[in-house]
């Protein structure tokens, strides 16, 4: 699944302009991991390791379909999305939308996802 990263860079630039480079880099890294290491990772073991590194234990994930809580539920959600994804590596994005994350203690605690296509 190809995903457009432009909104992440725009958000990080705003934080950087406010003078907190370390925070901007951490948020960029978390959002990158969210997209590529979790929701684009087809290997279950690597995805589970990325989830442990990226999200709090009680992470809340919300999209228009449902709200799930916890890392295991998030892993199941990612797998369901991957099962539906055609997997066009190297192609233009097949999914677009926006993620809004609340970060606590260096990990994503809450994630709101809005897909537009």
What is this structure's pTM? 0.79
Distance between CA 23 and CA 107 in Å, rounded?
12
- For residue 89, what pLDDT is reported? 60
CA dist., res. 25 & res. 56, Å (int): 18
Q: Coil, helix or strand for 95? A: strand
In this predicted structure, which of 9-13, 40-44, 98-102 has the lowest mean pLDDT?
9-13
Chosen CATH of 6-115 out of 3.40.50.720, 3.90.45.10, 3.40.50.300, 3.10.450.50? 3.10.450.50
Burial of 74 (0-12, 13-18, 19+ CB in 10 A): buried
pLDDT tens profile 16-37: 555 566 777 888 899 999 999 9
């Amino acid at each position: 699944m190809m995903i457009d990263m432009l909104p992440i860079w725009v958000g990080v630039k705003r934080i950087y302009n406010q003078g907190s480079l370390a925070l901007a880099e951490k948020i960029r890294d978390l959002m990158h991991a969210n997209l590529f290491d979790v929701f684009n990772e087809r290997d279950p073991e690597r995805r589970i390791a990325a989830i442990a590194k990226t999200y709090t234990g009680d992470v809340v994930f919300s999209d228009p379909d449902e709200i799930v809580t916890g890392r295991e539920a998030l892993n199941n959600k990612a797998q369901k999305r991957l099962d539906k994804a055609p997997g066009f590596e190297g192609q233009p994005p097949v999914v677009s939308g926006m993620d809004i994350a609340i970060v606590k203690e260096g990990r994503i605690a809450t994630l709101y996802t809005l897909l537009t296509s």
